[in-house]
Amino acid sequence: MPLFGALEAGGTKMVCAVGNAQGKILDRVSIPTRTPEETMPGLLNYFRGKDLAAIGIGCFGPIDLDRRSPGYGTIMSSPKLSWRNFAILRRFQEELDLPVGIDTDVNAAALGEAVWGCTREVSNSIYITVGTGVGLGVIINGRPYHGMIHPEGGHIFMDRRPDDPMVRGVCPYHPNCLEGLASGPAIERRWGRKAEELADCTAVWEMEAYYMAQAICSYIMMISPERIILGGGVMHQEQMLPLVRREVHRQLRGYIQGKGLDDLDNYIVPVSLGDNQGVMGAVKLAMDAYAENGGAL
Ligand code: ADP
Ligand code: ZN
C-alpha cells in the first residue's frame, strides 16, 4: 500500500508526516520554521528514504496556485520575508523526484475535514482558522476552491463595532479587515493582554464573536456553505462557539431560513480531527498528485 508524505508549512513550525490512503498518520515530527536555506534541508531529509509515492504540501500563503503560471507553487507576498518568492513546490519536486501537490494551509485543513472529518457528508464547506492570522479554506463540490489564486477570507473588510476601543486593526495592509480586528494578535493589542489570559472577560469574547459572526454571515451569503468549521488557537476558548452561533443568528436577521441555519449547533462546528486536519489534508493532496501521475490507489 503506497505511503504519502505530508507537510503542513506554517509561519512558526513545519509539521512533517507520513500517512496512508485511509488518512491514517503513521509518523509526525515538527521542525521550527527559519529561513528556507536553514529549514529546507531538514524537511527534505525527513522525506528522503521513506519510499513515498508522493508528497502533499499545505502552505502559508498567499501562494500562486494557478497551474498554468510559471510561478505555480511559489509563495507570494508573505510577511515571512525570507520565504517571499520561494518556489517551494518546484524545490520539493526537483530534490525528491516525486509527484507533489500543494494548496494553502487552510484549504488543506478544510480538505482533511472534508475527506475524513466533520464535513465528509457535505460537498460544500468552509474552514475558518483564527490564530496568529485568520484564514479561510473553501471546499466546493468536494474540491478546494482556488479561482485566481485562492480565497483570502481573513482580509475581508468589516463594519467596526462602534464601541471597539482599538483605533486601527493589526493588519499592515488594511485598517479594518477581519484578521486585523479578530486575530489573536488583534485581541492582544485591543485588550493589552494575550488572548489566552482573557478567558474571564466577557467583553473580549463578545467583541470577538461580533466580528467572527459578521464574517461568517458574509461567507454564508457568498458561498452558501453546507457546514462551517471553526479552528485555530483562539477557538480554544470554549465560550466562543455558542457566542458566535448566537451572533450569527442575530446578524442574519432571519433572511435565510431553514436548511442548516435552523440548527446552528450542527452548522457551525469545531474541528473534528484534533491537530491532524492539516497533515491529513496534505496526505489527500499527495494522493491526488499520485493519481494524476498515473499512480493506482
Ligand atoms: P498559528 O496561527 O501561529 O498557527 P495558533 O492557531 O495557536 O497558531 O494561534 C496563535 C494565536 O492564538 C495567538 O495569538 C494566541 O494568543 C492565540 N491563542 C492560542 N491559544 C489560545 C487560547 N487557549 N485562548 C485564546 N487564544 C489563544
Ligand atoms: Zn488585512
User: For all residues of the chain together, what is the average pLDDT?
Assistant: 96
Q: pLDDT tens for residues 125-153?
A: 999 999 999 999 999 999 999 999 999 99
Q: Is 131 in the pocket of ligand 1 (CB under 6 A)?
A: yes
Between the CA of 24 and the centroid of ligand 2 the distance, in Å, is 35
Q: Is the CB of 236 under 6 A from ligand 1?
A: yes
Question: What is d(CA 142, CA 137) in angstroms, rounded to the nearest whole number?
Answer: 12
Cβ neighbours for 40, distance < 8 A, ≥ 6 positions apart: 91
Instruction: Measure Cα distances from 101 to 56, 75, 142, 197, 271 in Å.
Output: 5, 14, 16, 39, 23
What's the mean pLDDT in 273-290? 97
Query: Pick the residue with more confidence: 12 or 36?
Result: 36
What does the CA dihedral 210, 212, 217, 221 come to, rounded to 10 degrees? 150
108-125 tens-digit pLDDT? 999 999 999 999 999 999
* Pairing outcome for strands 268-270 and 125-130: unpaired
52-59: average pLDDT: 98
Classify residue 90 by burial, with Cβ atoms within 10 Å: 0-12, 13-18, 19+.
Answer: middle
Q: What is the DSSP letter of 161?
A: P
Residue 30: what pLDDT? 97
Residue 241 · residue 140 · CB < 8 Å: no
Distances (CA, A) of 133 to 72, 129, 170, 194: 23, 8, 10, 14
Asked if the model's pLDDT at residue 78 lies above 80, the reply is no
List b or e across 28-38, with b for residues whose CB sees 16 or more CB atoms inside 10 angstroms.
Answer: eeebebeebee
Query: How far apart are the CA of 8 and the centre of ligand 2, in A?
Result: 23
Strand arrangement, sheet containing 125-130: 143-144, 134-140, 125-130, 227-231, 268-270
Looking at the CA of 239, which ligand is closest?
1
By mean pLDDT, which of 15-24, 156-165, 236-245, 256-265 is the weakest?
256-265
Amino acid at 229: I
- Distance separating alpha carbons of residues 114 and 110, to the nearest angstrom: 6
The model's pTM = 0.97
132 within ligand 1 shell (Cβ under 6 A): yes
Of all protein residues, whose CA lies closest to atom 13 belonging to ligand 1? 184
pLDDT beyond 80 at 197: yes
Better-scored residue on pLDDT, 78 or 207: 207
Half-sphere exposure of 9 (CA within 13 A, CB side): 31
